[in-house]
Amino acid sequence: MNSLVETAAVLVAAGKGVLAADESVATMSARLEKAGVAPTEENRRDYRELLVSTPELAAGVSGVILCEETLRQRLADGRPFPAAVADFGMLTGIKVDTGAKPLPGNESETVTEGLDGLFPRLREYVALGARFAKWRGVYVIDDQCPSRAAVHANAHALARYASACQYAGLVPIVEPEVLMDGTHSLARCAEVTTRVLGAVAGELAAFGVDPAAMVLKPNMVVPGASCPEQAAPGEIAEATAAVLRQTMPDDLAGVAFLSGGQSPEQATANLAALQEIDAPWPLTFSFGRALVQPALAAWRGDPGRVHEGQRALSQRVRANSAVLGETAAVAP
C-alpha cells in the first residue's frame, strides 16, 4: 500500500473522524466576535490550542484541519501546532483554498479560488508537517442554481487541487458542499447533490486522482433548512447513501461528512443512521460547527474556562465516535 493510501485509511479509521478547525481568519474572527471574544490573532491561537489539546481527543479524532495562520503558530509551550497535533496522536490537515469568490456572470454563485501557485504552497505545507489538505466548493440551491457553470467550475478546481495534493504528498479531502439554505425538498437536494458529485467524480477521474488516496467530504442529503417538511434520520441516510452509491467509485478511501449548519445533535443522529446503511466505504464525520460551537460557547475567551470548552468538545467528539462503533488500532 502506498503511504497516501495508508494516510487516507488512518483518517477514516473505525471510530474516528476529522475535526474541521480551519475557519479562515475572517470567519473565525466573526465567530469569536459573536461569542463576545476580541478577534485577535492571539485569541484565535488560544482557541485553537484549547481545541487540539483537549485530553483524549485522539480517541475519536484522526486528524485536525487547520488554516494557514494556525499551521504557522505555536502552542503556549512553544511547540508548532503541527508538531503538537502529532504529539497528541493526530494528523495535521491544512485548508489550502483561498475562499469561495463570486463567479463572474453568475454573481449569486461562487467558484472557489486558490489554484495559482498551489503546488509550491503544498510542498511548503508538507515541510511544515501537514499530512492532508482540504478544499471546499460551495453550491447554492434555488430555482436557477446551481448553474452548469458553477457545477463545472468547482468540480474542475476540486480535481486540479486533489491531483496537485497527491503529487505533493498530501491526502486531499475533497469538499463539495451543497448548502442547506432554502426551502427546497429532500428530493431536490438529492437531485442537486447527484449532479454535483457526478461532476466532481468525472473531473477527479479526468485528472487521474487515486480514489483510494483521498477522502470525500460531502453534505448529507437533507431538506432545505426552511423547508416545511423536514426528514427523519433514516430518510436522510437512505437518500445520502443512494446519491453516493450512484456517483462515487467503490475504491474511495472514505466519506467524512460536513455538518453544514445542522445542530450538533441532528448531525450526530444522521451520522448514526448512516451507519445502518450498507456502503462500500467508511462513513464518518469531518464536522466543524457541530463539534466546536459548544466549545466556543463554553469558553467565551475566558482563560479560566478552558476546561469547560474542552469538556464541551469532548462530549461532541465522544457522541459522534460512539455511533461509529469500535475504535481500530490504526497508528497515525
What CA–CA distance (Å, rounded) separates 167 from 120? 11
The answer to whether residue 289 forms part of the interface with ligand 5MM (CB under 6 A) is: yes
Measured from the CB atom, the residue of 5 and 115 that comes closer to ligand 5MM is 115
Q: Are 81 and 71 in contact (CB under 8 A)?
A: yes
The answer to whether residue 68 forms part of the interface with ligand 5MM (CB under 6 A) is: no
Window contacting ligand 5MM (CB under 6 A); options: 142-150, 245-253, 283-291, 304-312: 283-291
**Minimum Å distance from CB 291 to ligand 5MM?**
8
The answer to whether residue 290 forms part of the interface with ligand 5MM (CB under 6 A) is: yes
- Residue 43 three-state SS: helix
Measured from the CB atom, the residue of 44 and 289 that comes closer to ligand 5MM is 289
Cβ–Cβ contacts within 10 Å for residue 146, how many? Answer: 26
Instruction: State the Cα angle at 230 between 188 and 144, rounded to 5°.
Output: 25
# chain residues binding ligand 5MM, by CB under 6 A: 16
The answer to whether residue 263 forms part of the interface with ligand 5MM (CB under 6 A) is: no
The answer to whether residue 288 forms part of the interface with ligand 5MM (CB under 6 A) is: yes
Q: How many CA atoms lie within 13 A of 316 on its CB side?
A: 29
**Minimum Å distance from CB 106 to ligand 5MM?**
19
The answer to whether residue 20 forms part of the interface with ligand 5MM (CB under 6 A) is: yes
The answer to whether residue 24 forms part of the interface with ligand 5MM (CB under 6 A) is: yes
- Residue 9 three-state SS: helix
The answer to whether residue 185 forms part of the interface with ligand 5MM (CB under 6 A) is: no
Q: Are 294 and 319 in contact (CB under 8 A)?
A: no
63 Cβ contact partners less than 8 Å away, ≥ 6 residues apart: 10, 11, 18, 19, 90, 91, 92, 93, 131, 132, 332
Q: Is there a catalytic annotation at residue 217?
A: yes
| Contacts of ligand 5MM in 231-260 (CB under 6 A) | 258-260
- Residue 207 three-state SS: coil
**Minimum Å distance from CB 112 to ligand 5MM?**
9
The answer to whether residue 313 forms part of the interface with ligand 5MM (CB under 6 A) is: no
Window contacting ligand 5MM (CB under 6 A); options: 46-54, 144-152, 238-246, 288-296: 288-296
What CA–CA distance (Å, rounded) separates 217 from 134? 9
The answer to whether residue 316 forms part of the interface with ligand 5MM (CB under 6 A) is: no
The answer to whether residue 27 forms part of the interface with ligand 5MM (CB under 6 A) is: yes
Window contacting ligand 5MM (CB under 6 A); options: 2-10, 70-78, 232-240, 282-290: 282-290
Residue 132 host element (H or E): strand 132-139
What CA–CA distance (Å, rounded) separates 30 from 38? 9
- Residue 163 three-state SS: helix
Cα→Cα distances 251→49, 169, 214, 263, Å? 35, 19, 10, 31
Among 48, 136, 160, 195, binds ligand 5MM (CB under 6 A): 136
Measured from the CB atom, the residue of 254 and 288 that comes closer to ligand 5MM is 288
Amino acid code (one letter) for 77: D
The answer to whether residue 176 forms part of the interface with ligand 5MM (CB under 6 A) is: no
| Contacts of ligand 5MM in 191-230 (CB under 6 A) | none
Amino acid code (one letter) for 256: A
Measured from the CB atom, the residue of 41 and 250 that comes closer to ligand 5MM is 41
Residue 134 host element (H or E): strand 132-139
34 Cβ contact partners less than 8 Å away, ≥ 6 residues apart: none
Residue numbers annotated as active site: 175, 217
- What residues line the site for ligand 5MM (CB under 6 A)? 20, 22-24, 27, 95, 99, 136, 177, 258-260, 287-290
